[in-house]
Structure 1
């Protein structure tokens, strides 16, 4: 049972902060499904994660040498599956190249954890990009989400949308920072299995954040009383 008092305080807080009503679960679910479709659906996610999982599992069972063979074979198979499903050839080849670069770095440093060095740079770059976008008053989540949400072209002049994208970008900064810190901590601790789980799980978290932002942005853009400045 929902607590009416909790709902009341939540409504007051939203009014004070000027935030829109929270999206209903069905809308978020639909947006999440569409976001999942953009990355190839469940099969696409499995294909993207397979090389990493194959590398870590084989390294734990048989050592670093066989792990290189496993990641190479799995990456080629994953690329083939994506192409057979008529996914973007660019994304399919990019996945193959990322797996190759990660394996090359692991071979260079001679440790399984080296496989995760290249992808650790990604959240660091995103943290920087998010912060710069906030400083120049063009929050990155607005740049990414607004064209897909059908929002107005000059969304920076729309108070509700600007606020929504600023908040979403701040949340993205926190997520990317946490992602970076966790990766660094477990890299230092030499825990490839945990690094693999973080790498696979972080994609789902960011996809969900994107889906929620998309739903909220569409609602805010549709509000008739949300004028421009």
Structure 2
């Protein structure tokens, strides 16, 4: 094989690694789009089933504990609802990891609350998860690989080529800061409520529900809009 032929093949062997990285990050974030390129907010949220799975266990925990003031009962109802969703996913022949992820998450939250006897500690694992995402996003900016670029670059068929375009890099940096703001806002609002103890549990639980999946999807949508290519990059503009 000639040197020219070998050289022509090198880009092809290099692309899959970057493309696969972008694909894996995008899939991990669960972002989906319509055929016309718009973010599919409902599918990104996991569809109606995914929304129910993310909201119902926490909602039932809050309602049952507020009404009955029984921590074991509230935790049991929350775990049972999560288990029902897992069984439904298994019946639908979806991946086992997806079916068990919700149960494990609720079980860890229940363990924190039960082992300490404090209902507010049901929400402690969420703080650690939120902080981990926040840290990952900040690190991505520090190493000049803003995660919004990996998320959206794959969906826009840009791969990681946007890193060579200063304007695109700035847009994806701004988009990453937008997502960071979502996680930071959660902690800023919810941590003070947590430190107030169980008397603030209704407020903490309500803010956790509102600032959970709905706020996350809204943040992704805003980041998507902010990182859109400039009109000149989309093609010639129509004369006014």
Q: Answer yes or no: same fold by TM over 0.5.
A: yes
Which protein, 1 or 2, shows the higher relative CO under an 8 Å CA cutoff with sep ≥ 6?
Answer: 1
Contact 1:113 1:187 survives alignment (8 Å): yes
Q: C-alpha root-mean-square deviation of aligned residues, in Å? A: 2.5
1:1-229 → structure 2 map (5 Å cutoff): 31-32=38-39, 34-62=40-68, 63-85=70-92, 87-190=94-197, 191-202=200-211, 203-220=213-230, 223=233
Quick one: structure 1 residues 197 and 88, their matched pair in 2 at CA, closer, same or farther if it must change by over 3 Å? farther
Quick one: structure 1 residues 149 and 91, their matched pair in 2 at CA, closer, same or farther if it must change by over 3 Å? farther
Instruction: Structure 1: state its 5+ residue gaps.
Output: 1-26
Contact 1:31 1:215 survives alignment (8 Å): no
1:185-210 residue CA offsets vs partner (Å, 9 max, x unmatched): 11012322222223222221221221
Quick one: structure 1 residues 35 and 205, their matched pair in 2 at CA, closer, same or farther if it must change by over 3 Å? same
Instruction: Structure 2: state its 5+ residue gaps.
Output: 1-33, 236-240
1:160-183 residue CA offsets vs partner (Å, 9 max, x unmatched): 321111001112222211111212
SS of residue in 2 equivalent to 1:68: helix
Aligned residues: 197
When normalised by structure 2's length, the TM-score is 0.73
Between Structure 1 and Structure 2, whose CA radius of gyration is higher? Answer: 2
CA drift of 1:96 comes to 0.8
When normalised by structure 1's length, the TM-score is 0.76
CA drift of 1:37 comes to 1.0
